[in-house]
């Protein structure tokens, strides 16, 4: 078991409102945002290194990290949920007790408290509140194709 997995189990034990699957889903959505979406600004792990530093020089090597705001992470979670679960996204999220974007904030800040995620000095827990309504973003009209009907026309 990795340290992060152990930490997640500790978080779930301390705050049992959300199952471990919800925490894993939020982490996966963060990875999805980093890999698939153009969200976030670059943060530098070396505070001495300004954005214009030569990132390849031996004296100013800085690891660039993507940083998402609470609102951007909520958008990434929305897209990832639709990508993974389609028209069942709201049902899956509700099954994990995720009913508002505020729940995402609870999960993120629980993970921050045990060192699984990081926050900047500008981040606030309230940035996750009321970003969107689940009914509005997950109750969309999905077109389910009937292959047989298409062949007949």
- What is the band of 55 on the pLDDT scale with cuts at 50, 70, 90? very low
Cα dist. 90→28, 65, 115, 129, 146 in Å?
17, 30, 28, 17, 24
Domain ranges of the chain: 3-152
- Predicted local distance difference test score (pLDDT) of residue 80: 97
Cβ–Cβ contacts within 10 Å for residue 74, how many? 25
Nearest to 93 by CA among 23, 151, 30: 23
What global pTM score does this model have?
0.74
Which pLDDT tens digit goes with each residue over 85-110? 999 999 999 999 999 999 999 999 99
35 vs 81, more confident: 81
Where does the chain show beta strands of DSSP type E? Answer: 41-44, 64-67
Looking at the predicted structure, is the pLDDT value of residue 50 above 60? no
Looking at the predicted structure, is the pLDDT value of residue 32 above 90? yes
124 vs 143, more confident: 124
147 vs 53, more confident: 147
Angle ∠(117,38,119) on CA atoms, nearest 5:
20
Q: Dihedral of the CA atoms 45, 43, 37, 26 (nearest 10)?
A: 60
């Amino acid at each position: 078991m990795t340290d992060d997995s152990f930490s997640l189990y500790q978080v779930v034990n301390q705050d049992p409102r959300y199952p471990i699957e919800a925490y894993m889903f939020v982490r996966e959505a963060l990875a999805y945002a980093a890999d698939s979406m153009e969200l976030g600004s670059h943060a530098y792990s070396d505070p001495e290194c300004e954005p214009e530093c030569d990132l390849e020089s031996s004296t100013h090597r800085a690891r660039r990290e993507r940083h998402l705001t609470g609102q951007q992470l909520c958008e990434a979670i929305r897209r990832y949920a639709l990508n993974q679960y389609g028209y069942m996204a709201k049902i899956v999220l509700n099954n994990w007790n995720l009913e508002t974007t505020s729940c995402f904030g609870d999960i993120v800040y629980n993970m921050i408290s045990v060192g699984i995620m990081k926050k900047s000095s500008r981040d606030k827990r309230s940035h996750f509140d009321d970003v969107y309504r689940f009914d509005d973003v997950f109750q969309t009209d999905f077109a389910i194709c009937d292959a047989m009907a298409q062949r007949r026309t």
